[in-house]
Amino acid sequence: MKKRYQELDALRGLAALLVVFFHYTMEKEEASLGFDLGTTGVDLFFIISGFVILLSLEHVKSAREFIANRISRLYPTYWACVSFTFSCMLLYAWYIHDFSGISMVQYVANMTMFQYYFKIRNIDGPYWTMIIEMVFYMFMVALYYFKVLRKLDVICVVLISFTVSVVHLDFENIWVQRFFFKLPFVQFLPLFFAGTVFYRKITKGLKHIKFFGLILFCLVAQILLFEYSGRSNSFITVWEYAGMLTIYFTLFLIFIYNKLRFIVNSATLFMGKISYALYLIHQKISIEYIIPKLTHTYKVGFWSSSLIALSIVIIIATMITYLVEIPYSSKLRKKLYAVMKVH
């Protein structure tokens, strides 16, 4: 039986809200109030993912079981969010009598979660992180399948060191560009790896020297990749990024020493529960439809409009979580177990 770490659920909710307010204030003067730092919410998600994936791999009996679990966990909610957002796009296109921006090919490609490799644009902004998560999962399940997960430290340190070296030596090189395109998760591997290190510290009791050495390596490596990874570098400085990563790593240090219980309450656990749906659903319908309509047509203030939009997307995310994610993830998992012969 897997242990449920409620602190991580609370941190998921925090990460989702950071990203939401970053998107709401993006390229607005309100971003200067510190909301631009919310762009790093995805980095917190990646650390959490590293922790949880290793936890999951240690509680499955086969690679097939892990794959079935991941598919059933991710896809029902993702499909619901993509379909809901696309439906909003259709309604808006009908309202303005302009369907030029509507593409069924784009919708179908986005439903696979692998539109990145098809070179088809994401329907909504947050989807760009999904392929990074998926490729990291494939990387980890491959290590598990070939029984080299015990060599995770060596493999990750070598791969991270190689990545940092090549981007600083010749980032414009066509082979380096192809390397990044084929394996998009490497630009955030230090964060995923840090999550696995935190997990092994809390469950296996890594020696202090090894633990702090690996964590410091991950922190420095990710900061060195700042200019070459993700989208944060378009909104914040490397020093701001380093500061936020230090805060996230510190939160995890407090967590593994069982001192983070103070963030666990009914509100943070609720936000953690709906965080996946909230993360996927909030951007387009808020900043392209709800907030502009309220501010331009009804002359509602920006912050009031943002809070109304947040309330609406929280309601939508809650409905998707309880009406789709919880019931259909379980049903899909059972069907996949039967098809994939998972025992």
Of 175, 182, 185, 181, the C-alpha closest to 139 is: 185
* Residue from 199, 238, 200 nearest 219 by CA: 238
* Residue % of the chain over a pLDDT of 70: 99
- pTM, two decimals, is 0.96
What integer pLDDT is reported at residue 54 of this predicted model? 97
Q: Fill in the amino acid letter for 213.
A: G
**What pLDDT is attached to residue 185?**
96
CA distance 184 to 110: 17
What is the Cα–Cα distance from 328 to 300, expressed in whole angstroms? Answer: 38
The two tokens of residue 309 are 């939009």
Residue 126 has pLDDT above 60, yes or no: yes
- Tokens at 21, concatenated: 């307010």
Cβ atoms 264, 6 nearer than 8 A: yes
Separation of alpha carbons 332 and 68, rounded Å: 9
d(C-alpha 114, C-alpha 127), whole Å: 10
CA distance 171 to 232: 18
| Integer angstrom CA distances of residue 203 from 60, 198, 266 | 16, 9, 26
At 2 the pLDDT is 64
% of the chain residues with pLDDT over 90 = 89
* Contact criterion met (CB below 8 Å) for 42 and 68: no
Amino acid at site 230: G
pLDDT band at 1 (very low <50, low <70, confident <90, very high): low
Q: Kindly report each contact of residues 238-244 with a partner whose C-beta sits within 8 Å and lies 24 or more positions away, as own/partner.
A: 240/36, 240/37, 241/40, 244/37, 244/40, 244/43
Question: CB–CB of 217/157 below 8 Å?
Answer: yes
Residue 306 to residue 25: CA distance in whole angstroms: 9
Non-local CB neighbours of 56 within 8 Å, separated by 6+ positions: 2, 66, 69, 70
Query: Would you place residue 3 in the very low, low, confident or very high pLDDT band (cuts 50, 70, 90)?
Result: confident
Sign of CA dihedral 121, 123, 126, 129: negative
What pLDDT score does 233 carry? Answer: 87
The answer to whether residues 131 and 78 touch, using CB atoms and an 8 Å cutoff, is no
pLDDT at 108 over 70: yes
pLDDT, one tens digit per residue, over 142-154 is: 999 999 999 999 9
pLDDT of residue 175: 87
Tokens encoding 242: 């380093």
Residue 87 has pLDDT above 70, yes or no: yes
> In whole angstroms, what is the distance from residue 105 CA to residue 228 CA?
30
- The yes-or-no verdict on residue 230 having pLDDT over 80 is no
Do 18 and 44 touch, CB atoms closer than 8 A? yes
